[in-house]
């Protein structure tokens, strides 16, 4: 019979959230085992055309964990956010609101970073982390709570005893479902089609969000004359669009983008993501905590899902470091409840905000159209409301953990 291995913390899932969680804990002296069946230990990251708007506070976390520098400037600052509404018949755009920096010296609210670049940068750091052991080609199957810890069963028949089990296995967490955790879920009946494009005009660091009754389209600046497209569309039509021939796809996209981007060409494959809201009711239990998309999957229209996961990392690290310092059991429910309390408002705020905006804009109801125009007009003409919007995009609200603070 296999001897049970022991560690302080076991992390399931080495996506961006799980990998950064391992770095943050390893750097703070915790002994960590990170398990993911698809992690590539050679450091060779697969190139896929995804990208993320990384907020100013998330950038601070990446900087403090020595990951941001590994990007070697391969990111693009978002200098302005422009929200518009399209007339479904004429495709003309009406500008609803514009958010830009007060002056050039101000730090941008967020930066666009491509998936390949961020994963390569963080893998460089992760593979050098002394306290982190990475187990690949195996996954977590189940868990049994024991006295003083959990026994985590892997699908290669190995068992690991850990004081704390951190779960970041992504949307629709298989681990949460296996232990019959309850989710609050809503299927948006939408998909997001993601692709990278080149264009002849410069994007000037502008991020555009154009609202259609079938869902919003975002064009987000990448370095060079390139942009990332996130096109949310009603499900059946979305699958059709994703399978359409390149010329047809580009024609439809160009019409929808009006003159935001000119003479676009496709630079990548098209990827499709079904969209849903999925929030775990209780994300901490004795000995276990869910973070990242396993705990909360939200609509991508605000580009905040990953940022929310990065804020989970910063808060959990602080709670665990402080708890350990005073001799607390890091898997105890008392300590984990403090984390739950800290993170609950942010989860609630972003899930209800993204859900509300999607409901308000993804329809053709005349009354709602007036309501949203009035709402955005009010925001656009008030400096205080604009600042609040920009601070939210930057992640600059609530009680920030040290890893997200400027110094």
DSSP, collapsed to helix, strand or coil, labels residue 146 as strand
Interface pattern 128-167 for ligand FAD (x via CB under 6 A): -----------xx---------------------------
Nearer to ligand FAD, 271 or 369 (CB): 271
**Position 331 contacts ligand FAD (CB under 6 A):** no
**In the set 14, 65, 82, 404, which binds ligand FAD (CB under 6 A)?**
14
Between CA 284 and CA 331 the distance in angstroms is 10
Between CA 27 and CA 29 the distance in angstroms is 6
Contact 12, 156 (CB under 8 A): no
**Position 52 contacts ligand FAD (CB under 6 A):** yes
**In the set 5, 27, 28, 37, which binds ligand FAD (CB under 6 A)?**
37
**Position 222 contacts ligand FAD (CB under 6 A):** no
Nearer to ligand FAD, 178 or 200 (CB): 178
Q: Report which secondary-structure segment, H or E, holds 153.
A: strand 149-154
Distance, CA of 152 to chain centre: 26
Nearer to ligand FAD, 61 or 323 (CB): 61
Stretch of 61-69, 143-151, 249-257, 302-310 lying at the interface with ligand FAD (CB under 6 A): 302-310
Contact 193, 238 (CB under 8 A): yes
**In the set 36, 143, 233, 318, which binds ligand FAD (CB under 6 A)?**
36
Stretch of 6-14, 59-67, 240-248, 318-326 lying at the interface with ligand FAD (CB under 6 A): 6-14
Between CA 247 and CA 275 the distance in angstroms is 26
**Position 15 contacts ligand FAD (CB under 6 A):** yes
The CA-based diameter of the chain, rounded to the nearest angstrom, is 70
**Position 125 contacts ligand FAD (CB under 6 A):** no
Nearer to ligand FAD, 20 or 323 (CB): 20
Nearer to ligand FAD, 260 or 323 (CB): 260
Distance, CA of 177 to chain centre: 21
Structure tokens, 208:
């555009």
Helix, strand, coil distribution of the chain in percent, nearest 5: 35, 30, 35
Between CA 142 and CA 379 the distance in angstroms is 48
Nearer to ligand FAD, 275 or 336 (CB): 275
CA proximity to 269, closest of 339, 357, 202, 193: 193
**Position 313 contacts ligand FAD (CB under 6 A):** no
**Residue with nearest beta carbon to ligand FAD:** 15
Give the nearest distance from C-beta 139 to ligand FAD in angstroms: 3
Structure tokens, 342:
């800290």
**Position 306 contacts ligand FAD (CB under 6 A):** yes
DSSP, collapsed to helix, strand or coil, labels residue 125 as helix
**In the set 230, 253, 264, 316, which binds ligand FAD (CB under 6 A)?**
230
Structure tokens, 283:
């994300």
Between CA 338 and CA 231 the distance in angstroms is 38
Which residues of this chain interact with ligand FAD, rule CB under 6 A?
A: 12-18, 35-38, 52-53, 139-140, 168-171, 174-175, 192, 194, 230, 273, 292-293, 300, 303-307, 309
């Amino acid at each position: 019979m296999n001897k049970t291995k022991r560690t302080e913390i076991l992390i399931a899932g080495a996506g961006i959230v799980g990998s950064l969680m391992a770095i943050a804990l390893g750097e703070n002296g915790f002994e960590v085992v990170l398990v993911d069946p698809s992690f590539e230990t050679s450091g060779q990251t697969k190139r896929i055309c995804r990208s993320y708007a990384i907020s100013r506070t998330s950038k601070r976390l990446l900087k403090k964990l020595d990951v941001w520098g590994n990007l070697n400037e391969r990111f693009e600052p978002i200098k302005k956010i422009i929200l518009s509404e399209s007339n479904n018949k004429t495709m003309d755009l009406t500008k609803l609101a514009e958010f830009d920096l007060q002056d050039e010296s101000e730090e941008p609210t967020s930066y666009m970073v491509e998936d390949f670049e961020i994963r390569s940068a963080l893998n460089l750091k992760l593979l050098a982390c002394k306290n982190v052991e990475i187990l690949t080609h195996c996954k977590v199957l189940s868990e049994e709570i024991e006295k003083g810890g959990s026994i985590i069963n892997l699908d290669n028949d190995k068992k690991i005893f850990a004081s704390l089990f951190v779960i970041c296995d992504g949307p629709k967490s298989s681990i949460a479902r296996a232990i019959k955790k309850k989710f609050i879920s809503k299927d948006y009946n939408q998909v997001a089609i993601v692709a990278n494009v080149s264009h002849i005009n410069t994007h000037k660091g502008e991020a555009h969000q154009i609202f259609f009754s079938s869902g919003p389209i975002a064009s987000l600046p990448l370095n060079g004359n390139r942009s990332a497209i996130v096109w949310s569309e009603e499900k059946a039509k979305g699958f059709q669009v994703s399978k359409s021939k390149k010329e047809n796809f580009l024609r439809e996209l160009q019409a929808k983008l009006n003159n935001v981007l000119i003479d676009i060409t496709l630079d990548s494959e098209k990827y499709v993501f079904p969209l849903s809201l999925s929030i775990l009711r209780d994300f901490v239990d004795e000995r276990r905590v869910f973070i990242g998309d396993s705990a909360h999957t939200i609509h991508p229209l605000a580009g905040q899902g990953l940022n929310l996961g990065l804020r989970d990392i910063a808060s959990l690290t602080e709670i665990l470091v402080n708890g350990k310092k005073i001799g607390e059991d890091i898997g105890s429910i008392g300590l984990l409840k403090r984390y739950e309390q800290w993170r609950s408002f942010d989860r609630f705020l972003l899930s209800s905000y993204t859900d509300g905006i999607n409901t308000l804009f993804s329809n053709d109801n005349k009354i709602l159209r007036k309501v949203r125009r009035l709402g955005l007009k009010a925001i656009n003409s008030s400096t205080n409301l604009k600042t609040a919007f920009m601070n939210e995009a930057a992640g600059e609200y609530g009680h920030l953990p040290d890893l997200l603070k400027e110094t």
